[in-house]
């Protein structure tokens, strides 16, 4: 390992930052100048994520027009193929490829050191690419009968839906890639720690490490589910599985995965939003508390996705609900800290008054505006999450369009819009080329906000009318949805309009990225600096950096929340039973559909 030629003083770990300068437009001090080898991997990860975004976005567009009955370019029988491709490409590939790039940036920048072995870094990236391709092949093969493969199992992929083995193998490789990525960052930190035994962990690295510990705990559930049950089942090695067990193991992972997407977005709000607001992070200690809370509480809540599942007793559901309500705390703390930092920035820029300071924020900057609008929408998405989390009120919204409304505000905006806005800063950093068009970028982020306002609001309302999710043709013969205000036609029109604006916004984003990538470097790129916090790490109790302690408590909480529910599920249904036929939805004849439906009814009943 060698020390990079140019270092970044402002991100130093020990200073409290009373005298820290804000970022300046020095040239030759962009990330690519400091870490050229790492910049190449991060570029590759970002471009992979954009390819996934483009593919997933196309399916989203087809889907929104299909289920609102505006234009149907595919047969309804392929709807699950489209829905699976939309979900997997966006929430698995787009988000995770992007975040591994951001995490690599965060660790190298804040530790001021190159990765220990760039070959290892390329290896985990390569595994993630291989995994994505393996999983994508059976998903896309679902569109044609010519290839005897499918994976129409949605991004939640639990039994009785069954995919081709290649899908599970691909997911496994992808997850192993992320595990190795985490190992890479831990190695960097340990090497740094040997040289700096008395320093506090720099905040960006602290955020990466806590997120990865959370991810290691969470992915245990999906690893067991795939390796012990789903993969052997799809290979024909075992005849049957216990659907409730695979669902529960999925949600063991399926809730924390949403924080695996959110925590990098939060990291960008903590590190970049204050900078672009013209100020400094309000509190480093609070940020550390938030990430520790996520580490502790993200996993023992997964059963809040299963309030309506039979076979899990109410008491366990109640515990999951209680934990979920505690889990609101880190987000509420984040709302406070990030908005306080923005206010500080606005006042530095001359803003005054109770709310007047809002006008002093740099609304013409797409990085700032994108992230601020993402935060604003997350306030709404967080509230619909609280409603989901209430055990009794969940019965009203579960499996309805409300839920896609919720997650298009959270992962679809808080995360996706933050990542896109962040890309306007990161891509110049890792290419050395200024953004092709700032005005188009600004239009893009605002268009996303407007499109999502239409779409998610109408989705929530449609859900309250009882309109189901995951349905190609959610209209029933002889059944009219009763709308309290407006009509279902109006809601569908809003969903389709919103989806179209989002597609337009996506095109603008991708074109801007494409032109930037192929541009010749002209003009200067801003220096890779983050202002130090107002209240720095020396104000944070040392125990916050005790990662072993938090890991141990995190594991104990998971054991407490999951041992009894899993034991009782296995006790009732058996480890590999009660079974029921596998259910691939497409490329099957009517007889199989009938058997599948009977299975589903059996499982639900």
Q: Does 462 bind ligand HAS (CB under 6 A)?
A: no
Question: Of 258 and 566, which CB lies nearer to ligand HAS in the complex structure?
Answer: 258
283 - beta bridge partners? 535
Give the single-character DSSP code of 200.
Answer: P
Among 113, 247, 255, 408, binds Cu ion (CB under 5 A): 255
Contacting residues for 466 by C-beta, under 8 A, at least 6 apart: 400, 481
317 binds Cu ion (CB under 5 A): no
Contact assessment for residue 532 and residue 20, using Cβ atoms and an 8 Å cutoff: yes
Is 156 in contact with 248 (CB distance < 8 Å)? no
Residue pair 46/101 in contact by the 8 Å Cβ criterion: yes
What is the size of the binding site for Cu ion (CB under 5 A)? 1
Indicate which residue of 113, 280, 304, 406 is catalytic: 406
Query: Could you say whether residue 283 binds ligand HAS (CB under 6 A)?
Result: no
Which burial class, exposed, middle or buried, applies to 341 when counting CB atoms under 10 A from its CB (0-12, 13-18, 19+)?
buried
Contact 529, 24 (CB under 8 A): yes
79 belongs to the binding site for ligand HAS (CB under 6 A): no
Q: Which of 288, 408, 460, 461 is catalytic?
A: 408
Helix 95-111 and helix 256-277: axis angle, to 10°? 50
Fill in the per-residue mask, 252 to 271: x = in contact with ligand HAS (CB under 6 A), - = not in contact.
Answer: ------x--xx------x--
Whether 304 sits among the annotated catalytic residues: the reply is no
CB of 479 to Cu ion, least distance (A): 30
CA distance 351 to 345: 9
Of Cu ion, ligand HAS, none, which one does residue 156 interact with (CB within 5 to 8 Å by kind)?
A: ligand HAS
CA–CA separation, 295 vs 555, rounded Å? 10
CA distance 448 to 100: 24
Sole binder of ligand HAS in the list 187, 349, 398, 438 (CB under 6 A): 398
Degrees, nearest 5: CA angle 312-323-186: 110
From 252-260, 334-342, 520-528, 531-539, give the range in contact with Cu ion by CB under 5 A: 252-260
- Name the residue with the smallest CB distance to ligand HAS: 382
- The residue among 167, 136, 140, 177 whose CA lies nearest residue 44 is 177
The answer to whether 347 contacts ligand HAS (rule: CB under 6 A) is no
Q: Please tell me the number of Cα atoms within 13 Å of 297 on its side-chain side.
A: 20
601 part of the interface to ligand HAS, by CB under 6 A: no
From 317, 406, 433, 460, residue interacting with ligand HAS (rule: CB under 6 A): 406
Using CB under 6 A as the binding rule, whether residue 276 contacts ligand HAS is answered as no
CB of 260 to Cu ion, least distance (A): 12
Asked if residue 388 binds ligand HAS (CB under 6 A), the reply is yes
| DSSP letter assigned to residue 507 | H
Binding of Cu ion at residue 280 (CB under 5 A)?
no
Which residues have a catalytic role annotated?
255, 259, 406-408, 469-470
Residues found near ligand HAS in the complex (CB under 6 A): 156, 258, 261-262, 269, 304-305, 324, 327-328, 331-332, 334-335, 338-339, 342, 372, 375-376, 378-379, 382, 385-386, 388-389, 394, 397-398, 403, 406-407, 410-411, 415
């Amino acid at each position: 390992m060698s020390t990079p030629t140019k270092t970044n003083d402002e991100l130093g770990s020990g200073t409290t930052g009373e005298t820290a300068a804000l970022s300046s437009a020095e040239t030759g001090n962009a990330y690519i100048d400091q870490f050229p080898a790492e910049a190449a991997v991060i570029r590759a990860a970002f471009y992979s994520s954009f390819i996934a975004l483009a593919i997933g976005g196309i399916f989203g567009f087809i889907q929104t027009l299909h289920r609102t009955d505006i234009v149907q370019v595919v047969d309804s029988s392929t709807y699950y193929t489209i829905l699976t491709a939309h979900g997997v490409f966006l929430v698995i590939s787009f988000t995770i490829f992007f975040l591994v790039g951001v995490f690599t940036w965060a660790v190298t920048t804040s530790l001021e050191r190159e990765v220990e072995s760039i070959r290892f870094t390329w290896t985990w990236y390569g595994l993630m690419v291989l995994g994505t391709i393996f999983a994508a092949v059976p998903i896309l093969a679902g569109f044609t009968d010519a290839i005897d493969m499918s994976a129409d199992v949605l991004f939640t992929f639990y039994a009785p839906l069954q995919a081709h083995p290649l899908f599970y193998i691909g997911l496994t490789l992808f997850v192993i890639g992320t595990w190795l990525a985490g190992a890479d960052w831990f190695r960097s930190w340990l090497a740094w720690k040997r040289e700096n035994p008395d320093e506090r962990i720099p905040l960006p690295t602290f955020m990466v490490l806590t997120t990865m510990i959370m991810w290691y705990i969470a992915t245990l559930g999906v690893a067991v589910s795939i390796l012990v049950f789903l993969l052997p089942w799809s290979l024909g090695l075992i005849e049957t599985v216990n659907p409730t067990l695979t669902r529960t193991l999925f949600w063991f992972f399926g809730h924390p995965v949403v924080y695996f997407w959110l925590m990098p977005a939060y990291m960008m709000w903590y590190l970049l939003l204050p900078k672009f607001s013209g100020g400094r992070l309000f509190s480093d200690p609070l940020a550390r508390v938030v990430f520790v809370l996520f580490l502790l509480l993200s996993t023992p809540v997964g059963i809040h996705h299963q309030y309506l599942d039979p076979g899990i007793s109410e008491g366990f559901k109640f515990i999951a609900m209680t934990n979920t309500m505690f889990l609101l705390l880190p987000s509420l703390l984040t709302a406070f800290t990030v908005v306080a930092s923005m206010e500080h920035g606005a006042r530095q820029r001359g803003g005054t008054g109770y709310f007047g300071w809002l006008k002093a924020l740099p609304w013409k900057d797409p990085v700032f505006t994108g992230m601020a609008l993402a935060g604003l929408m997350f306030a709404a998405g967080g509230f619909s999450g609280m409603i989901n989390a209430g055990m009794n009120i969940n019965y009203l919204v579960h499996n309805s369009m409300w839920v896609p409304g919720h997650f298009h505000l959270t992962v679809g905006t808080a995360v996706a819009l933050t990542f896109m806005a962040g890309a306007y800063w990161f891509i110049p950093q890792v290419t050395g080329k200024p953004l092709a068009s700032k005005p188009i970028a600004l239009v893009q982020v605002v268009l996303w906000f407007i499109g999502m306002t239409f779409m998610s609001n109408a989705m929530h309302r449609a859900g309250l009318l009882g309109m189901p999710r995951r349905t190609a043709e959610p209209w029933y013969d002889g059944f009219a949805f009763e709308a309290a205000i407006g009509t279902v036609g109006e809601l569908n029109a809003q969903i389709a309009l919103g989806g179209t604006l989002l597609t337009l916004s996506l095109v603008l984003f991708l074109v801007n990225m494409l032109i930037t990538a192929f541009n010749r470097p002209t003009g200067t790129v801003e220096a890779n600096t983050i202002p130090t916090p107002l209240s720095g790490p020396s104000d944070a109790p040392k125990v916050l950096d005790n990662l072993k302690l938090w890991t141990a408590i995190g594991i104990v909480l998971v054991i407490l929340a999951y041992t009894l529910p899993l034991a009782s599920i296995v006790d009732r249904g058996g480890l590999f039973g009660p079974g029921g036929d596998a259910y691939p939805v497409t490329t099957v004849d009517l007889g199989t559909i009938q058997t599948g439906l009977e299975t589903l009814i059996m499982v639900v009943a």
